[in-house]
Amino acid sequence: MAVIADKENVVVSNIEKVFCMRGGNGEDSYANNSQAQAKHARSMLYLLKGTLDGVQLIPAQDGAPFVIADLGCSSGGNTLYMADAIVKHMTERYEAAGDAAPEFSVFFSDLQSNDFNTLFQLLPPLGANYGSMEGLAMAAPITHPRSYFAAGVPGSFYKRLFPARSIDVFYSTFCLHWLSQVPESVVDMRSTAYNRGRIFIHGGSESTSIAYRKQFQSDMASFLRARCVEMKRGGSMFLAFLGRTSEDPTDQGGAGLLFGSDYQDAWDELVQEGLITSEKRDNFNIPLFAASAQEFKEVVEAVGSFHIDNLQIFKGGSPLVVSHPEDATEVGQALANSCRSVSGVLVDTHIGEELGHELFSRVARRGASHAKELYEELQFFHIVASLSLA
């Protein structure tokens, strides 16, 4: 992909190689800032189980493992919780049918820049017996023995990742709102879609929103075409990703409040104080699109390879998890950590770690200045879908 407006803009030109959730176990790591995702995933667990109930059971005597693939696994404990939940539910289905469960294999997949080391360090040892899931806190190390074989698969889920007809269950949670790239026209000063003065689609022009929507449509179509080759007949796919309730794509809802207010203002401050140029700011755009359920449905129908078994907009709640909501400083820091855990790698790549730290410090201060309003208004909605081969 050609760089349009900034020869040093590797965020635009090489996003697949640099993008990942912030690794490690630091204060601003994804592992320590994904409690909200954990809460949201727990609340939609019954929808996941409904998807799994539609999966065809493979007789254990056939000798083939039951294969599960997590697309966009990142590096926190939530990933292992979801894998355990799927294996546990499928094991119970086999037991209820009076059959022995086959061996389970789980592939954890994400971009090659993902912190797989942190994820694999959380993996408990492989054991013969499966422990209870009752009371298990997500985003915390899992201590009971693991009842599946695990492997990492680096690569973009917008491309092929697995052999044909090899996967029984695909699941992807809180990932598919991330685009494969920033739309080129959005950072092209010659284009009507140029997102001048902004670092996100929220509040942008109609031309900018069209560019983002086309990128989403192209990416989602690629995702579905790859999965329709890789999924076994009788398999199912569970997807949960940021969505919006507004018909207007420039109103990105919770994502807009997260990236289009205090975060945007912090970038503007860097420009106003001469720390970066306005062009440097304009050449950074968050590669995220919160689609409507209708937009997602239209892509699925256009591709034609999958049947939609369930589709809904699910209210997930706030991405900010704080111990003391009345503490403005804590709320502001939670906002900064949340932003940095998912976009910090892109920011540091674009403007350097020192300016990145300065940027997120300003996000924290701005968030603290209206903490009560921020905590009450910042709410996420998710598209939750179950798909099977048509």
Residue range 6-55, pLDDT digits in tens:
445 545 556 666 665 555 555 555 555 556 666 767 888 999 999 999 99
Question: Domain total for the chain?
Answer: 1
Q: State in Å, rounded, how far the first CA of the chain is from the last one.
A: 33
pLDDT at 25: 58
Contact assessment for residue 388 and residue 307, using Cβ atoms and an 8 Å cutoff: yes
Query: In the Cβ-directed half-sphere of 21, how many Cα atoms lie within 13 Å?
Result: 27
**Distance (Å, whole) CA 146 – CA 125:** 6
pLDDT at 125: 87
Reading the block at residue 210, the tokens are 């069209």
Q: Residue 210 CB: number of other CB atoms within 10 A?
A: 15
Does some domain include residue 345? no
> What pTM does this model have?
0.88
Least confident of 2-16, 18-32, 83-97, 352-366: 2-16
pLDDT at 13: 53
Asked whether residue 2 carries a pLDDT value surpassing 50, the answer given is no
Does some domain include residue 10? no
Asked whether residue 225 carries a pLDDT value surpassing 50, the answer given is yes
Does some domain include residue 258? no
pLDDT at 1: 31
Query: In the Cβ-directed half-sphere of 64, how many Cα atoms lie within 13 Å?
Result: 12
Does some domain include residue 210? yes
Higher pLDDT, 235 or 134: 235
Asked whether residue 155 carries a pLDDT value surpassing 70, the answer given is yes
Does some domain include residue 162? yes
Reading the block at residue 347, the tokens are 């920011």
φ and ψ of 388, to 5 deg: -135, 160
pLDDT at 38: 65
CATH code of residue 149: 3.40.50.150
φ and ψ of 66, to 5 deg: -90, 120
pLDDT at 135: 36
Does some domain include residue 363? no
Contact assessment for residue 133 and residue 40, using Cβ atoms and an 8 Å cutoff: no
Mean pLDDT of 302-319: 92
Asked whether residue 137 carries a pLDDT value surpassing 50, the answer given is no
Does some domain include residue 47? yes
Q: How confident is the model at residue 243 (pLDDT cuts 50, 70, 90)?
A: very high
**What domain range includes position 185?**
32-250+285-326+380-389
Does some domain include residue 4? no
pLDDT at 365: 96
Higher pLDDT, 236 or 128: 236
Mean pLDDT of 263-269: 95
